[in-house]
Amino acid sequence: MASENGLFAEISKEGGSTCVEQIWNLLKEAQEGVESNPVEAQHKLGVARCRFDEAVEKAGLGWRIKYVYAIPIFLYLVVLFIVFLFVWHYIDLYHQGSIVVFWVPAWSIVWGGVGSVLRGVYWLWYQVNRRLYKKYWLLWFLGAPIMGCILGGMMYLIFMSGYIAATQSSLTDEKLPMLLCALAGFSWPWATDVIKKLTGIFGAKAPT
């Protein structure tokens, strides 16, 4: 995380090159002595961690805001969440959910996006809490809402296909499909697993 996010280059500007050298030396000594003296090696790792924490504090507030606390990404996700809820409220209030995009109601895409934003917030918290956030994950956070919207629309089509085939009637309550669309946006492995199972069923029924 440190080198990838430019920590050592940042603290070098602040005159912290000595701190960087101490960290590297402690890590090297701990690695070399891990078999001969594991207790001493563990102690040196602890000291290196303390020096690392000091280096983070020396890096400057701007660097910490971007790469330790990831505040810009968090604000981006909060804004997206508000935008998605506003769009859903607009669709529900003025169009009664009748707007259709690519054969699916727009709210299914919106709720897929909401789920992806919640996934992004959880993933960001998980990584920041462990100081594992890396700046090149920016593309993932930018693309997550798009993936969530796509999976939300696909989950709606899958649910409605199964519902109509099973009941031979139209859906009157949209709460369950909304929840499924949001879950598809939040849990990509679950959504892709459903899609894989569906394609497997169609593949098994296809003529050879």
- pLDDT value of residue 65: 82
Please write the tens of the pLDDT for every residue from 72-81: 999 999 999 9
The least confident of 22-26, 39-43, 64-68 is: 22-26
On the question of pLDDT at 119 being above 90, the answer is yes
- pLDDT value of residue 208: 46
Helix axes 138-167 and 175-186, enclosed angle (nearest 10): 150
Please write the tens of the pLDDT for every residue from 131-165: 788 878 889 999 999 999 999 999 998 888 877 77
> Where are the domains positioned within the chain?
7-67, 71-205
Q: How far is CA 16 from CA 9, 21, 30, 132, in A?
A: 9, 9, 22, 22
